Amino acid sequence: MRLLLASSMFAVTPALRALVREPRGKSVAFIPTASYAERYGGAGRLMAARLRMLGMRVHVLDVARVPARSSVGDGFSDTRQCEQYRRAAHILRSADMFYVCGGNTFYLLQELRESGAADIIRERVMQGVPYVGESAGSVVAAPDISYIGLMDARDKAPRLESTCGLSLIQGAVVPHVDSHMMGAEAKDILRLYGKYAPSSGACPTCAPVPFIPLRNDQALVVDGNRKRVVTHRTLAGALSRSWF
């Protein structure tokens, strides 16, 4: 399993080559969905252009626009909706890498679930397809995202019934530590819960997992059984700590 989990896109690019050694020509399923639920979300969507500059083939997929999986199971009278679902599934199943933007984690999880993308992403990541998460995209990789309620508004996901995350890692990223915009919320999470993320009770198989606090210039790199936090002290990273 190969993961790159970061607070900010500014920590992603320097660490990306450790995860995807030959990015040119690789296909990326770029999921900006979480960013549309927050006013600052446009910044994260700029990463699509950066990935293209690296020579990657970027397929932007807003999973909120994908017809709900339950509706597909019942059959569509609208062939356009059928085609939308098939196209989304093809992008996810053929991607060489997943990139999941930041924004509102609860909204992201709701839409990943309803579209069926959550199951496909988890299956393919377990098969070795790299997963890159930024902020909410990192948080959703945890077994349970309930802890992020101190940072993200739960009411932006009114149809979300469970806070069980993708469980890509036995840990829980706390993004934006020491940052200007959300540093106080990150501190509140760590102060309230201590070293371990709680289980909300919605995930009966979830046990508390350790928090992984990340500044905006840091990223967690997971390659098989090896895990390490890398720091990239760049001007862009420093500015992101001031802005976000």
C-alpha span between 18 and 4 (Å, rounded)? 9
Q: Which of 115, 176, 199, 240 is catalytic?
A: 176
Whole-angstrom CA distances from 71 to 29, 58, 65, 96, 217 are 23, 28, 13, 28, 41
Task: Give the tokens for residue 174.
Answer: 């706390």
Whole-angstrom CA distances from 166 to 65, 107, 194, 227, 229 are 20, 14, 22, 18, 20
Q: Classify strands 209-213 and 2-6 as parallel, antiparallel or unpaired.
A: unpaired
Q: Are 171 and 3 in contact (CB under 8 A)?
A: no
- Pure H helices in the chain: 12-19, 42-45, 47-53, 69-74, 79-94, 105-115, 117-126, 136-139, 183-193, 235-243
The three-state secondary structure class of 20 is coil
- 242 catalytic residue (yes or no): no
Task: Give the tokens for residue 57.
Answer: 């083939």
Q: Which of 35, 135, 146, 199 is catalytic?
A: 135
From the list 110, 88, 87, the residue with the least C-alpha distance to 36 is 110
Instruction: Tell me which amino acid residue 4 is.
Output: L
- 135 catalytic residue (yes or no): yes
Enumerate the active-site residues. Answer: 135, 176
